[in-house]
Amino acid sequence: MHQTPIEAPRQGAVPPDGERPSLLDRRKTALRLDIACAAVRLFTTRGIAATTGEHIAQEVGVSARTLWRHFPTKESCVLPLLAAGLDFAVDRLRHWPADVSLRDFFAETCREGELPAFTPAILDLIRMTSTEPALRAVWLQAHDDALPVLATLLAQRSTAGADTGTADDALRVTVHAATLNGALRAAVESFAHRYADRPDAADEELAACLDAALRAATEGLPY
């Protein structure tokens, strides 16, 4: 396993309502990221089975009681890191021009070099989600949490939005959101596994995986 120091992902953008998070909320977010980074370090160096919640708390310098207030299980401690890429995608989609296709928009994002950074340790974590059921559940939870947000963003672009159209219209938007969600997950998983031995792989390779996944999603089912 790589033992590269983990760089916390960029903090999320200001919420859609334009209100800056309170100081308490920012401190809470920072602590959750510290816990997540500590959990990944311990999982990749000690192994998941040999790591306890108490170990993670000691690594951060907080009490176990504080850690359990933020996360229900030791595996769930990594949720902020697993959700960071999705948070980035959701934030970018809020700035998606109406006259630009989905693939073109993400291609432009890639060309601008605005993709989130996936450190070797985080890629190790994503690879572990394919062999560790408890981590897999956390990874899928991150995507499940993002699904209604993606559906809302797509509905706002649709002439038959989920709030104003028929039940079939709402279902159509939900299927599109699930397709986009799955494409984002598949792209990151492919990147993590394809470049397991290439710690130098970065934006260009990730962009290629993302474009291939979005191309497959937008082509529809050929069966």
Residue 129 resides in a domain: yes
Residue 200 resides in a domain: yes
CATH number of the domain that residue 198 is part of: 1.10.357.10
Residue 104 resides in a domain: yes
Structure confidence at residue 161 as a pLDDT band (50, 70, 90): very low
Residue 17 resides in a domain: no
- The pLDDT of residue 11 is 44
- The pLDDT of residue 221 is 85
Residue 55 resides in a domain: no
Cβ within 8 Å of residue 162, ≥6 positions away: 151, 152, 155, 169, 170, 173, 174
Number of domains in the chain: 1
Residue 68 resides in a domain: no
Structure confidence at residue 139 as a pLDDT band (50, 70, 90): very high
Whole-number Å distance between alpha carbons of 73 and 55: 13
Residue 43 resides in a domain: no
Domain coverage including residue 99:
79-219
Is the separation of the CB atoms in 72 and 138 below 8 Å? no
Residue 34 resides in a domain: no
The mean pLDDT value of the chain amounts to 86
